[in-house]
Amino acid sequence: MSVEAVVLNKVFAILRRELSAEEYVAYLRMVTPRIGDATKELRVKTKDLSLEEVIKGVKEIEKGSNKDEK
pLDDT in tens, 24-68: 888 877 887 766 777 788 788 888 888 888 888 888 888 776 655
- Please name which of 38, 15, 14, 44 lies closest in space to residue 26, comparing C-alpha atoms: 38
pTM to 2 decimal places: 0.39
C-alpha–C-alpha distance, residues 49 and 19, integer Å: 14
pLDDT in tens, 1-30: 788 888 988 988 898 889 888 888 888 778
C-alpha–C-alpha distance, residues 37 and 15, integer Å: 21
43 within 8 A of 28, measured Cβ to Cβ: no
